[in-house]
Amino acid sequence: MAITAAQVKELRERTGAGMMDCKNALVETNGDVEKAIEYLREKGLAKAAKKSGRVAAEGLVDSYIHLGGRIGVLVEVNCETDFVAKTDEFKGLVKDIAMHIAASKPEYVAREEVPAATIEHEKQIYRQQMLNEGKPEKIVDKIVEGKIDKYFEEVCLLEQPFVKNPDITVGQLLNETISQIGENIVVRRFARFERGEGIEKKEIDFAEEVMSQVQQ
């Protein structure tokens, strides 16, 4: 069975294991992600998956206000103990996530939060686009699924490329921190406010300004 890059990516995000370890695990389990997670755990390679089921009820609510008060973010990130919540590493993670939200405008934390009606609506739009372009009916559904994955990458916080290091997603950043700290960490919720949002006005892209400040 051919192992796709999307499968490897999902397994890496869920376990924190290396790319080759993830690919090998999928090969050994014929592409079954859940069995691959168990395989990695048995081999001692799944760093984050071991901790993902543990209760994370401590943590921080932090804010980020962009220079000039144009954009504001509130985010709640949970961990397991108050001790970890007070560490500089955890505080830095929360601050980085808040700044990322300001720059990248996610709408949801994870794909599981996207309403089924919204997903179906997007699928119908993509499907009609493909048919209008003359794509063969038999491959349209496969193309649509790929576009939906891309949609999740655009609107879901954990699947967006991290603004300070676009080579990894926010989900991978979270898993790497879980592996280092040794506790489960969960982004529970966030709210993003942009001055004048919803009011008809000249379009201004503040995200570029935020990203510039983040990367300094």
| Cβ burial, residue 36 (10 Å; 0-12/13-18/19+) | buried
Q: Which residues are paired to 75 by β-bridges?
A: 62, 190
Q: Does the residue 52 lie in any domain?
A: no
Question: What CATH number does residue 138 fall under?
Answer: 1.10.286.20
Taking the complete model, does pTM exceed 0.85, yes or no? no
Domain of residue 33 covers: 5-42
Question: What CATH number does residue 181 fall under?
Answer: 3.30.479.20
- Average pLDDT of the segment spanning 39-65: 75
40 token code pair: 């990695």
pLDDT reported for residue 121: 94
Looking at the fold, whether 138 and 33 belong to one and the same domain comes out as no
**CB-based contact 102:73 (threshold 8 Å):** yes
Terminal alpha carbon distance of the chain = 45
Q: Give kind and range of the element (H or E) at residue 150.
A: helix 137-155
State percent of the chain over pLDDT 70.
85
Is the pLDDT score of 118 beyond 50?
yes
What distance in Å separates the CA atoms of residue 176 and residue 15, rounded to the nearest whole number?
A: 9
Question: What CATH number does residue 37 fall under?
Answer: 1.10.8.10
pLDDT digits over 163-216, tens only? 999 989 999 899 888 878 888 899 999 999 998 877 765 544 555 666 666 666
Give the pairing of strands 161-162 and 71-79: unpaired
- Tell me which of 11-15, 21-25, 43-47 is least confident: 43-47
Q: Which of 153, 143, 162 is nearest to 111 (CA)?
A: 153
Looking at the fold, whether 163 and 106 belong to one and the same domain comes out as yes
**What are the backbone angles phi and psi of residue 149, rounded to the nearest 5°?**
-60, -40
